[in-house]
Amino acid sequence: MSQNPANMSTKRLRGPGSSPESGEVVLELSSRKPREPRKRWRSAFIAIYFTRALRSLVREIIGNTTETVINVKGIDENVMEDRNFSSVYRKKLISVMKDKGLDHLHELGGAESIAAELMSNPETGIRGDEEDLRWRRAAFGENKYQRPPPKSFLYFVVNSLKDLTIIILLVCASLSLAFGIKEEGPREGWYDGGSISIAVFMVVMVSAVTNFRQSRQFHELSKVSDNIQIDVVRNGRQQHISIFDIVVGDVVSLKIGDMIPADGLFLDGHSLQVDESSMTGESDPIEINKESHPFLVSGGKVVDGYGRMLVISVGMNTAWGELMSSISHDNNELTPLQSRLSKLTSAIGKVGSLIAFFVLVVLLVRYFTGNTFDENGKRQYIGKKTKVDDIMNGVVHIISVAVTIIVVAIPEGLPLAVTLTLAYSMKRMMADQAMVRRLSACETMGSATIICTDKTGTLTMNQMKVVMFTLGKEAILGNNVAVINPGIIELIHEGVALNTTASVYKADSSSEPEFSGSPTEKAILSWAVMELYMDMAKMKLSYEILHVETFNSQKKRSGALIRKKSTNTVHAHWKGAAEIILRMCSKYYDKSGTVKTLDEDDRKAVLHKIEAMASQALRCIAFAHLEVDHQTLIEEKLIFLGVVGLKDPCREGVKDAIDLCRRAKVKIKMITGDNILTAKAIALECGILESSTLTDSQLVEGVQFRNFSYNERMEKISQIKVMARSSPSDKLLMIKSLKEKGEVVGVTGDGTNDAPALKEANVGLAMGIQGTEVAKESSDIVIMDDNFKSVVSILKWGRCVYNNIQKFIQFQLTVNVAALIINFVAACSSGEVPLTAVQLLWVNLIMDTLGALALATDRPTDELMDKPPIGWTQPLITNVMWRNLSFQALYQVTVLLTLQFKGKSIFKVKELVKNTIIFNTFVLCQVFNEFNARKLEKKNVFQGIFRNKLFLWIVAATIILQVLMVELLRKFADTERLNWTQWAICVVIAALSWPLAWVVKCIPVPEKPFLDYLKRTRS
């Protein structure tokens, strides 16, 4: 069993001229107490091996001049017993976490002893090579939990078959099939009932396939959202890995906002507090320490401090794994738009059902009064002479037509269209670096009127670099550290190395150092190592950290109390926002190391330098220090060390993105914890502030904002564009105030303390790179690249979702209105309907599913940003849509009723050919109207047509299937073949809808919704 070098002692004996190839004798002795019951045989094994090693060593020294090495650092894994742990020991580890028993933990020797048993090192972690990881997964399992299986395709088929109208149609089809076979025999009698059955089957299958695909897509997206990145130490190097790659023995680094990735034991850290409410229901955070509570439970979240843990249980061996395996990830969320569409569908369905009932009554009355005839002109009902089977067949046919009218009337495609466009948008938004966690957020972003954004990492690149350093009152140019007193350099080293959450890794003395941590911490650490020649490893060995106060976005500073081992002196170090640290100081160092009193003039001089740095868009971080004679981290009368200025350049394209938001009537407010001058400089650079219109009322600090009276705040909030030195509570107050004014607010956030603001906002946007897991879980959408351009992309997608749904509503309502009026008028006047049940089901398939796919998958364009945000109270069907659909429906009804009553005489054709022309013209009208629906207001409906290949494929598929229905599937569709002239007439009539749409769009409409006029008339 290869053991940890940190826990072992190593001795070497060398003879002259030796080499590893010539014979190296390696003996590995564990310095820890062996575990029972292996103690005795291990002692015997070591004694025997040690004797053989000495005998070999003597022989080598006497026999030749080679050098032999005895490496006493633990038993080599090649001479170890099998590394597989017994199931008893694995169960003990699991029970330690489940019972949280300190006695049980002490029996196993504590965290360090367990780490050694797991061949892990609290400082350097596990080896982490493929063989090591493979063994650990085989021995302890993977950090994955068994998900409930996703719903099968059969589930969606059965769900579609539960629809009442589908059931009635299937019953009608079965009766029609039975009567038809009895009357005409199996060869000819199956057509009517069989055709309806096949058509219903097609509708059910298409609906099931669509829903099944969307379910799978949501399932895949949930996998992406569950793939959290974790910091672990392996082979002495800090690495960023997936939560699913965690193994037993891993040493995990934890900081504020992290989720506990597995069950483990606390190794070390400071002020670590964990929220375990997801598991226990207790809202109060738990203080984690070695003495009383060293247990860290998976699923918990770090709310304060930092630390490191040893993983001892993963996956299904944890309580979190058991819990998550029972939770379904199916997305049954009903979005606001879906709720509104359900009401619209219900209203239209009621109208359609009423019309279908009238048609049913009219057809039944005409049938039983002898006013209906078959295709040969023979009266269908002749009183008592009519066979019962013929009566039943006739009634079933009438019922199936009435039910089919209901199927066509109810716009079931509307909810499907929303699901399709949301699912399509979610998939495309992933490619645009946005992961949607809540479907409703897609729609809500289309209504957003204000976006409150962070500065660092969102507007800027989050690539910090120290470009300026001021010691006391004096600026140090370049890296001219030779002018600084060595004692001051040492104090800066202390303040950087021992008051940080970042780390440095060097593979060997000649390799370049690798820095890990937050961008600010990495930049400062890199500056100290590369320019001040700080040795991080040496600092850690030379000092002991007594107490740490982690960075807090409320206080904007962090502190550390340390003891220097060589002198046994205690030092307090503080680091944070420059003006805040300066207020804590009463003295300062000059570059010679002399301590001087910080009087008012000196304080103003330092403040002036801080302001000068901030006005150059630099983030100013100050350091302060004091040697103390007690173990208390004091916060006053410190000695000011100096200030570093960190440059974080603006992201490319941010200014254009903000201009696009301004064009879209969406206001941008920057909320940052930085100095107001830094914030102002960045805001000017990004275009949030404009120098030509800049006023003092556009900038405010958090403390001012929170101290405003309610009326004052509500009056000034619309003018504020930048809030600096803000705390999370200031951000939350800003969002609440904006919502009270009726604004729809989107807000970005990355910290744990941003969680309340992210939840309060209409749309919470968490950062994917710098965002903590707490922030991500509180958000609606995760910005994967932390880029403001992606926020604008989401804004466009939100508007696109709403626009696509409106296109489909216009298209489907045109079909609904036309089909209902045509069938109702024809039934009432002639007792027959021109469109059969199968034909109506085909039309239903075109408009519900294929139409939704064609119109709901348009991608967003910049022209969407030329309109103001979509109001939440704005009607779904706008005046423009009413105008468009009314004229198109009127045109279709006029043409098709003319064909119904005059078609035979106009074309000199039989009844069946006339009905086929009506059916063909009606379907082609819908195909051409799909193009009209692409643009609700623009006259050029072909603009950008080739960008949506799916639209073109669906149109082509619809035309091909229609040709097959008319020319080849005649008995199935109850049609007759058409000649070229008749086809041309059908195409021309349908194509006339294009110039009609162009003319109609020239007609102006009032801005006030038509329904408001109706309400006023009623009142």
Catalytically annotated residues: 454
Q: CA of 929: how far to CAs of 283, 310, 354, in Å? A: 57, 64, 26
* CA–CA gap between residue 382 and residue 408 (Å, rounded): 32
Q: Which long-range contacts (CB under 8 A, 24 or more apart) does 27-30 make?
A: 27/53, 27/70, 27/71, 27/72, 28/2, 28/3, 28/71, 28/72, 28/73, 28/74, 28/75, 28/76, 29/72, 29/73, 29/74, 29/75, 30/3, 30/74, 30/75, 30/116
Locate the DSSP E strands across 102-148: none
Q: Check: CB of residue 706 under 8 Å from CB of residue 733.
A: yes
917 Cβ contact list (under 8 Å, min separation 6): 899, 903, 907, 909, 978, 982, 985, 986
Q: CA of 736: how far to CAs of 158, 434, 712, in Å? A: 46, 25, 15
DSSP H helices, 788-866, are: 788-830, 837-845, 851-855
State whether the Cα torsion 535-541-545-546 is positive or negative.
negative
Residue with structure tokens 């300062």? Answer: 588
Q: Check: CB of residue 233 under 8 Å from CB of residue 308.
A: yes
* CA–CA gap between residue 601 and residue 590 (Å, rounded): 15
Q: Check: CB of residue 467 under 8 Å from CB of residue 480.
A: no
Q: Please, what is the angle between helix 788-830 and helix 837-845, to 10°?
A: 170
* CA–CA gap between residue 314 and residue 244 (Å, rounded): 9
Radius of gyration of the chain (CA): 38
Strand partners, 264: 296, 311
* CA–CA gap between residue 263 and residue 802 (Å, rounded): 44
Query: At residue 789, what is the residue type?
Result: K
Residue with structure tokens 């904006």? Answer: 738
Q: CA of 540: how far to CAs of 252, 493, 517, 537, 586, in Å? A: 19, 11, 17, 5, 29
For residue 916, which of 976, 970, 984, 981 has the smallest C-alpha distance? 976
Q: How many CB atoms lie within 10 A of CB 923?
A: 24
- 415: cis peptide before it, omega within 30°? no
For residue 754, which of 725, 738, 737, 777 has the smallest C-alpha distance? 777
Go through the chain and tell me how many residues it has.
1019
Locate the DSSP E strands across 527-630: 543-552, 557-564, 569-577, 585-589, 595-597, 618-628
* CA–CA gap between residue 379 and residue 359 (Å, rounded): 20
CA 771, distance to chain mean position in Å, is 12
Q: Is beta strand 474-476 parallel, antiparallel or unpaired with respect to 722-724?
A: unpaired
3-state secondary structure 582-604: HHCEEEEECCCCCEEECCHHHHH
Q: What are phi and psi of 779, to 5 degrees?
A: -95, 170
